Amino acid sequence: NAGVMQNPRHLVRRRGQEARLRCSPMKGHSHVYWYRQLPEEGLKFMVYLQKENIIDESGMPKERFSAEFPKEGPSILRIQQVVRGDSAAYFCASSPSAGGWYEQYFGPGTRLTVT
């Protein structure tokens, strides 16, 4: 049973470019969460999505960041016009249902470096 998959594992972007991070949840899981981890810090909640719905985006920066979880395919975290401060590890987690939200299983992360 494959776990949460994220790609790419490492992503390098120049300032001003766009970054697209993909997350495929565990089989049978329909809820996805994105977290950001700055170096030497804990994970910070960004957004919680179900298929075709954003449930809670209270942790998302107001500009340049967006997330989606389409009916088919992986969840996408999109960062437009990246800046050096966006350099971080981005993790997604999935859970089986709203009632099972506490069972969050994390992927290996995407490490974004902005040059």
CB-side neighbour CA atoms (13 Å) of 112: 30
Tokens of 49: 């999505």
Closest to another protein by CB, 76 or 89: 89
Query: Is 48 an interacting residue with respect to another protein (CB under 8 A)?
Result: yes
**Least CB distance from residue 51 to another protein, whole Å?**
15
Tokens of 4: 């949460």
Tokens of 58: 């209270």
Residue range at the interface with another protein (CB under 8 A); choices 12-20, 33-41, 67-75, 80-88: 33-41
- Collapse the DSSP code of 86 into the 3-class scheme (helix H, G, I; strand E, B; otherwise coil) and give the result: helix
Residues of the shown chain interacting with another protein in the complex, contacts defined by CB under 8 A = 4, 6, 31, 33, 35, 40-45, 48, 55-56, 58, 91, 98, 101-102, 104-109
